[in-house]
Structure 1
Amino acid sequence: MLLRLLPEDVNVNFMAGRKIAFAFSLLLVVGSIALFGSRGLNLGIDFLGGTMIEVKTEQGQGVEEFRAVMSDLGLGDVQIQEFGAADDLLIRIQRQPGDDVAQQAALATAKQAIDGMVVEYRRVEVVGPTVGSELQEAAIYAICFALGAILIYIWFRFEWQFSVCAIVALIHDVITTVGLFALLQLEFNLATVAAVLTIAGYSINDTVVVFDRVRENIRKYKTMPFAGLTNLAINQTLSRTLMTSVTTLVALVALSIFGGEVIRDFSIALIWGVVIGTYSSILVAVPMLLTLEPHRGEEAGSGDAEQTA
């Protein structure tokens, strides 16, 4: 017997709540933009440039002891946090004025000050301002090109109405993900950009599955009202959508709990992406399609006697 999260004959009237969903989505998007404008993103060293040092410390040497030492070095903004275990610390030093020589000098100064408190240097990364700026530009291009490619793909596979609805849902997911990072001040780095692109792919996969069923129903039920037709398509794919989302979330929650600090922000972004992607596929993309209502054609269907199938 196949595992199902929902009964086979589930019939939820999603279209009845589309105005509430639109209002909620608008609130999410506006709130995300407001948070981004007011708080900004906690950009990582990938984008800003600077120095990051991961160390294993001597017993009894914690954040406060390192902060007391580093605060007297004159290196500007220095952030120190536990990185998993209590004796693992991550030290971030802001980019210093000057060229690479200045960055290396700051690194040498920091290491000299904390050498006696460190058992092992596990990672040292120095990113210059030019590289950081180039990475910012590359990240923006990557996201824009990915969204553009998805737009073209949906347009060719379906009709322009489907393409518009899919890309609006994708933009909705990307903006709200950025809003989450602005709200929680999670570090926004290259791994986060990868998470955003993964979210886009996951979301469009869900949306295409539902759109495929909508297209099948358009051909099959020639006289069924479009609201009922789209609602039927969502219900027919709902069990598959939820099964995919739940199994993916189980893995991501495990990663966020046991994967350590390195991938925690990445995991949180993906967890949010799965939730918001599933929501937007069901309550943003398809209800918008109802508003635009693509051409239904004149193909002979199998008859509306099967509407309850």
Structure 2
Amino acid sequence: MSAHNSWGNRLYRGEVSYDFIGKQKRWYGLSGALLLISIVSLLTLGLNFTLDFRGGSQFDIVAPNSSSETVSKIQDGVGAIVKDPTVQTSTDTAGKHIIVKTTPLSSDQLAQVRQVIATDSGAKDPNAVGVTLVSGSWGHEITQKAIEGLIIFVALVMLYLAVFYEWKMALSGIIALIHDLVITAGIYALIGFEVSPATVIGFLTILGYSLYDTVVVFDKVRENTKGLGSAKTDQSYTQAANLAVNQTLIRSLNTSLIALIPVASLLFAGTVVSGGAGVLQDLALALLVGIAVGTYSSIFIATPLLADLKEREPEMRTLKRKALGAQNKAAARAERSGVPTQDRLAPGFAGAGDGDDLEAAGAAEGSGREVPRGPRNQPVRGDRGRNRPSGKRR
């Protein structure tokens, strides 16, 4: 058996564990910083929509002998006619293409731009330059349909999670989905990736992928928390949920890595083989960013949020105090037997140090009040029961 499989089996059995939920403030801080950067990028830089959304004109010419100097020359020539044109190259079976995208143009501007592209590319004949006009109203319709599809998707997800799980799982899952969407869109705004209809398809795909990964973890959480409160378990909800994350960790990572292999192939084909500026590149970029963010949120955001919501319930707080009291007893016995301190820390409580929980745990040990402890966690005897050298009491 490989070391990887052995480690994964030990995680599943709970022999080794990482306290994902106990360190939730660290993950919340990281996600908060990413969300802030994403929102600022969206508000200041905005998304770079293609002509399919904003409307405009696209010119295409086959130029097998074109170079970077040719592209720069066309950029300058067209830029003298219309503001901020986009000049890109692409490759297909017909050869190497030069693609120029501009805002909507008048008839005279169309003719001037075609002439400049034909001259600077070496074709000389303006008729060799293909022109595609995209209506802004059509792009607006695409945007509206995409938003409608996103709203319907989120509503169905919330309904599914609320019916088959519970509303707190639904709320945690939706927050994780919004987290993934905002960060992905922020990365697009920050780097300047173009947003095309293929990108929108990629966004919807990654939301579905993120939901799938989150539901897998939630299903294991529900399984682990089914018997909480019985005499056979001394776990809190947080500990059971943290065990579920550890048990599904290898599956989540393997699924993400396997999914990224074809996505990386699409990105390679769209960027290197086709020369960029294609549907494959747009789709692969959205999937690549989204899968990575979705995997992160299912482990570090969705389940910690769920645990925080559940621990607010009175019965879960009581269960946590009872579990901590039982684990303190076990820790005291382990200390007397010489087990190192770090091996006695209860998963989910390591480093917590909540005063109210500790006090309630002492009260739950059976005496009805907190028992004073000595240096080795032993009860401190009062003066009344202290033994005298003579063996007699005064």
TM norm structure 1: 0.85
**Aligned residue runs from structure 1 range 134-173, under 5 A:** 134-173=141-180
Instruction: For residue 18 of structure 1, give the secondary structure of its aligned residue in structure 2.
Output: helix
Whether the 8 Å CA contact 1:206–1:241 is kept in 2: the answer is yes
Matching residue's letter, 1:193: V
- Structure 1: unaligned runs, 5 residues or longer: 97-101, 298-303
The match for 1:272 is 289
Matched, 1:243 2:246: no
Matching residue's letter, 1:277: G
Greater share of strand: 1
The match for 1:110 is 113
Instruction: For residue 8 of structure 1, give the secondary structure of its aligned residue in structure 2.
Output: helix
Shift of 1:109: 4.3
Work out the CA distance in 2 between the residues paired with 1:162 and 1:279: 17
The correspondence for 1:49, drawn from 55, 77, 83, is 55
The correspondence for 1:291, drawn from 300, 308, 312, is 308
Percent identity reads 31
Matching residue's letter, 2:283: F
Shift of 1:78: 1.6
Instruction: For residue 95 of structure 1, give the secondary structure of its aligned residue in structure 2.
Output: coil
The match for 1:300 is none
Which of these two proteins has the greater Rg computed from alpha carbons? 2
Distance 1:84 1:12, change over 3 A: farther
The match for 2:73 is 65
The match for 1:20 is 26
Matched, 1:232 2:246: no
Work out the CA distance in 2 between the residues paired with 1:45 and 1:253: 26
Whether the 8 Å CA contact 1:170–1:203 is kept in 2: the answer is yes
Matched, 1:81 2:92: no
Work out the CA distance in 1 between the residues paired with 2:130 and 2:32: 42
Distance 1:211 1:124, change over 3 A: farther
The match for 1:211 is 218
Instruction: For residue 174 of structure 1, give the secondary structure of its aligned residue in structure 2.
Output: helix
Q: CA-to-partner distance for each residue in 1:198-253, whole Å, 9 max, x for gaps?
A: 11000000000010111111114444211110011111111111110001112212
Matched, 1:90 2:99: yes
Q: CA RMSD in A?
A: 2.9
Whether the 8 Å CA contact 1:6–1:239 is kept in 2: the answer is no
Instruction: For residue 13 of structure 1, give the secondary structure of its aligned residue in structure 2.
Output: coil
- Structure 2: unaligned runs, 5 residues or longer: 12-16, 317-322, 324-346, 348-394
Q: CA-to-partner distance for each residue in 1:110-153, whole Å, 9 max, x for gaps?
A: 33443453779797532112112222222222222211221111
The structure showing larger relative contact order (alpha-carbon pairs under 8 Å, at least 6 residues apart) is 1
Work out the CA distance in 2 between the residues paired with 1:278 and 1:123: 43
Matching residue's letter, 1:248: A
TM norm structure 2: 0.67
Distance 1:220 1:108, change over 3 A: farther
Distance 1:189 1:118, change over 3 A: farther
Q: CA-to-partner distance for each residue in 1:169-197, whole Å, 9 max, x for gaps?
A: 00000000110011001001211111110
Work out the CA distance in 1 between the residues paired with 2:6 and 2:136: 50
The match for 1:99 is none
